[in-house]
Amino acid sequence: MRLTDLPLRQPAYVDMIDWSALTPSEGQRLREYGLCEGASVEALHHGGFLGKGPIACKVGRMTIAMRRNHAAAVTVRTGPDTGAQDEPA
Amino acid sequence: MSMLPLVALVGNPNAGKSALFNALTGARQKLGNYPGVTVERKAGRLALSDGRPVELVDLPGTYSLDPTSPDEQVTRDVVLGKQEGEKRPDALVIVVDASNLDNHLRFTLELIALGLPTVVALNMVDLATRDGLELDANILSRELGVPVISTVAVRKRGLDHLRQELDGLMNGAPAPYTARPAGDFDTTRNEARRIARAAIVRETPSRRLTAAVDRMLLHPVIGFVILLALLFVMFQAVFSWASAPADMLEGWVTALGEAVTNTLPPGIVHDFLLQGVVGGVGAVIVFLPQILILFFFILMLEATGYMARAAFIMDSLMARVGLSGRAFIPLLSSFACAVPGIMATRTISDPKDRLTTILIAPLMTCSARLPVYGLIISAFIPARTVGWGVGLQGLVMFLLYVFGIVGALVAAWALRLTVTKGESSGFLMEMPKYQWPRPQDLLIGLWQRAVIFLKRAGTIILFTNIVLWVLMSFPKAPDGVRQSEYSIAGRIAGGIHLLVEPIGFNRDISLALLPTMAAREVAVSAIATVYAIDAADDVEALDKGLGERLQGRWSLATALAFLAWFVFAPQCISTIAVTRRETAGWKWTGFMIGYLFVLAYAAAGITYWTAVALGLG
């Protein structure tokens, strides 16, 4: 499921990020915000009229806002955390 | 450059760095600029626990040492010792938000790896507790390999503790800790998470106050209405709260003028002091309360964390004109002053977005326009309510702000289709936690703004007025001819008048337009000086207020055209200078000056012709 389709306030985990859909600086900024495969994520608000505006979501303990085209590059999964990439081996 | 030891405060944005800086240094701060860039340098003096002074510098917040904007570049260059005009810090205080540890620790590890003497301030522990987090600073210290002090900017104990640690670092006491090398981004991040997890003793489900408030404030409809309401209250307050203190200041200015009249014999010195200095500068100073009220609101919006929400709400609208919600923050700051507003565009990484924002920033109604709007509105718009406690004067003021905003959006749209054409950049932004601003932080901010305003009044505005007074006082007009027309300034104004007569401007305005290039407030003092000189022999006229005298000489259509002119005209030398610096040349600066003058002329003209057609001429 893409982050844009994730229902509001349903905890999820980042499954995959299509870094090629982002410019290098956007990718860097998102990484600095803590967005990475395995990070916990929760959509909080859809902005703009008809929900076409940016999305505010919680990544880890931080709330960040991004536009829908960027959120669409993030694939998420709900359900229990398998923690595949979250824990350092 | 100071010879004192240098300590740099560094950390992520929203880590509470500025509040900690204020708490450590108090009101004695020095604002300046780094050479070659318009990044503000904030420094203050801090006494260590043994009384020795060190210089503390507050570096711009950044997420990593890999900069994406000019202000982040400064932070990196300073800590690496590469910033021109700044020596390499002797020690670092890394400020970390206690409730955002996993994220902030990654940057902390990056900084610790630099090997400078370091202490970590685990900041805002009170907010972390509010969110149900309990942390162990000792575990954190052991894991990081540097001292960690729990701090809350308002509480003295943590601050004293922090000073003691710095004391030890500055005395060159061998740190009992060892620096560790930094790995690549992912390794550091995983390490940061591991340490954060180890340091969190207990975690209860938080009350999520922020999320609950955001449901309202980020709501597409309710949130937008709240934003508009906030702005409306802000502009009403600027008018209604300021009247009492402004009257008081005006009383002082009048008393000072009388004192000049009573102590000095009539003559050129008397005229110069009364008309050129007291009359001119005094007319501007009385607007200090309004400017401080406006800055109070802007500082509140920033300190509470609301500013980022306003950006979120505005993003869809800004996207339509080819900008992002991020551009809304410099634009909102430009309501106070376009200079810090244009400087704040540094946080926009896309060059074309940034250029467009700079070009439209002067359209936001800055506080320097308040004296002009205030004078004209109180002279020509009746002080009555239009219902629901809304004053007509405040409403007109609000409309002037709206014209500025609409003008800016249309201009951005047109610019993005033509001269700054390009891919629209995205909108990525952190939404900080809400917090109640500390009164002392607000007071320090207001104090700094008041000093800047009074310095302007005492330098650029005073100087312009003196020059203007000289140009207007000589040569002396023969009887029956108005001094303001016969003087050198009057003759120059005659030329300008030919250009602006079609848009309804009279000779007084023509005369004021040229010195007003120095700063917009000068329009008020210039007109005050014109009338003071013309009224010198007319005792009755001298007793009247400036507003009353305007009513006698201007038509309503002219007054409205004058207001419309000021919505658009780029009349501020500081804005032009900062634009030249930020766009690195005259090309875009010249373009900005040109298009704004064209807009101002058209707006004033349309206003005047419409008003005359409606019978208001």
DSSP-assigned letters across all residues of B202-233: EEPPP--HHHHHHHHHT-TTHHHHHHHHHHHH
What distance in Å separates residue A42's CA from the closest CA in chain B? 11
CA separation, residue B361 to residues B68, B239, B389, B398, B577 (Å): 22, 23, 32, 18, 14
Mutate to test the interface with A, among B99, B312, B433 (most CBs of A within 10 A): B312
Contact criterion met (CB below 8 Å) for B236 and B288:
no
> Per-residue DSSP letters for A25-81?
HHHHHHHHTT--TT-EEEEEEE-SGGG-S-EEEEETTEEEEE-HHHHTTEEEEESS-
Nearest chain A residue to B66 by CA: give it: A28
Residue A83 lies in a domain: no
User: Rounded to the nearest 10 degrees, what angle do helices B556-568 and B586-613 cross at?
Assistant: 160
Residue A17 lies in a domain: yes
Of A47, A49, A70, the CB nearest to B312: A47
**What pLDDT was estimated at residue B539?**
53
d(CA B98, CA B108): 12
Q: Do A32 and B64 touch (CB under 8 A)?
A: yes
Among B210, B223, B431, whose Cβ lies nearest the Cβ of A64? B431
Does the pLDDT value for residue B460 go beyond 80? no
pLDDT of residue A71: 94
**Whether B315 and A26 lie within 8 Å, measured CB to CB:** no
- Please report, for residues B244, B291, B545, the alpha-carbon distance to residue B238 in angstroms, rounded to integers and kept in the order given: 12, 8, 21
CA-to-CA distance for B13 and B302, rounded, in angstroms?
A: 12
- Interface membership of B63 toward A (CB under 8 Å): yes
Does the beta-carbon distance from B220 to A47 stay under 8 Å? yes
Tell me the chain B residues in contact with residue A44 when contact means C-beta distances shorter than 8 Å.
Answer: 211, 214, 218
**Most confident range, picked from B420-429, B431-440, B481-490:** B431-440
B63 occurs within a structural domain: yes
- Where a domain ends, among B554, B588, B606? B554
Domain that holds residue A34: 3-78
- Residues B16-55: tens digit of each pLDDT: 898 899 999 887 788 777 766 667 788 999 888 778 889 9
* A62 closest CB neighbour out of B100, B189, B428: B100
**Cβ-based contacts of B193 with chain A (< 8 Å):** 86, 88
Q: Report whether pLDDT(B195) > 80.
A: yes
Closest Cα to residue B104, out of B7, B203, B199, B22? B199
Is residue A59 one of the residues assigned to a domain?
yes
**Overall average pLDDT of the B486-500 stretch:** 87
A11 compared with B584, residue with greater pLDDT: A11
Binary contact (B103, A33; C-beta < 8 A): yes
CA distance B426 to chain A (A): 7
Final residue of a domain: which of B158, B175, B203?
Answer: B203
Domain that holds residue B538: 438-554
What pLDDT, in 10s, does the model give residues B198-220? 998 887 766 567 778 888 899 88
**Structure-token pair, residue B586:** 């005259």
- Assigned domain for B550 exists: yes
pLDDT averaged over every residue in chain B: 85
Give every CB contact of residue B342 below 8 A, 6+ residues apart in sequence: B38, B330, B334, B358, B361, B575, B578, B579, B582
Asked whether residue A26 is assigned to any structural domain, the reply reads yes
Segment B86-97 mean pLDDT = 92
Chain A interface includes B68 (CB < 8 A): yes
CB atoms within 10 A of CB B195: 21
Q: Which residues in chain A have Cβ-Cβ distances shorter than 8 Å to B319? A: 53, 67
Residue A88 lies in a domain: no
Residue among B151, B186, B188 nearest B166 (CA): B151
**Distance to chain A for B327, nearest Cα, Å:** 14
Q: Is residue B303 part of a domain?
A: no
Question: How many domains does chain A divide into?
Answer: 1
Interchain pair B99, A61: CB under 8 A = yes
A67 located within any domain: yes
Residue type, B547: G
Whether B14 is in a domain gets the answer yes
Q: Which of A32, A47, A67 has its CB closest to that of B218? A: A47
The CATH number of the domain where B99 resides is what? 3.40.50.300
Residues of A in contact with B99 (CB under 8 A): 61
Nearest CA in chain B to A43: B211
Chain A residue whose CA is closest to B131: A61
Which range (A42-51, B72-81, B473-482, B585-594) has the least confidence? B473-482
Within-domain flag for A85: no
- ipTM of this complex: 0.90
Give per-residue pLDDT as tens, B559-616: 999 999 999 998 787 788 888 878 878 899 999 999 999 999 999 999 999 999 998 7
Q: How many contacts (CB atoms, under 8 Å) link A and B?
A: 112
Indicate if the pLDDT at residue A89 is higher than 50: no
Write the CATH number for A41.
2.30.30.90
Which residue out of B204, B209, B428, B433 would a mutagenesis test of the A interface target, given it has the greatest number of A Cβ atoms within 10 Å? B428
Q: CB B428 to CB A70 under 8 A?
A: yes
Q: Which of A25, A66, A68, A86 to mutate against chain B (most B CBs within 10 Å)?
A: A25
Q: How do residues B318-360 score in pLDDT, each as one tens digit?
A: 888 989 888 988 888 788 778 878 888 877 878 888 899 999 9
- Could you tell me if residue B566 is inside a domain? no
Task: Please tell me whether residue B46 adopts helix, strand or coil conformation.
Answer: strand
Proportion of chain B above pLDDT 90, given as a percent: 27
Q: How many domains, chain B? A: 2
Query: From CA B78, how far away is CA B485, in angstroms rounded?
Result: 56
Q: Which residue among B68, B315, B430 sits closest to A48, beta carbon to beta carbon?
A: B315
| Residue contact B312–A56, C-beta within 8 A | yes
* A66 contacts B218? CB cut-off 8 A: no
SS3 B53: strand
d(CA B606, CA B600): 10
Nearest Cβ partner of A33 from B185, B193, B430?
A: B430
Q: Which residues contact B432 (CB under 8 A, 6 or more apart)?
A: B13, B14, B305, B308
Yes or no, beta carbons of B430 and A64 under 8 Å apart:
yes
Q: Which residue of B has its CA nearest to A86?
A: B190
Radius of gyration of chain A from its Cα atoms, rounded to whole angstroms: 12
Q: Which of chain A's residues have a Cβ under 8 Å away from the Cβ of B102?
A: 34, 60-61
Chain A residue closest in CA terms to B428: A66
Name the residue of chain B whose CA is nearest to A71's CA.
B428
Inter-chain touch B426–A56, beta carbons under 8 Å: no
Q: Over the stretch B110-152, which tens digit does the pLDDT of each residue have? A: 999 988 899 999 998 888 888 788 899 999 999 998 999 999 8
pLDDT of residue B311 exceeding 80, the answer is yes
Residue type at position B391: G
Q: How confident is the model over B271-284, as a mean pLDDT?
A: 78
The alpha carbon of residue B185 is apart from the nearest alpha carbon of chain A, in Å, by 9
- Specify the DSSP class assigned to residue B13: T
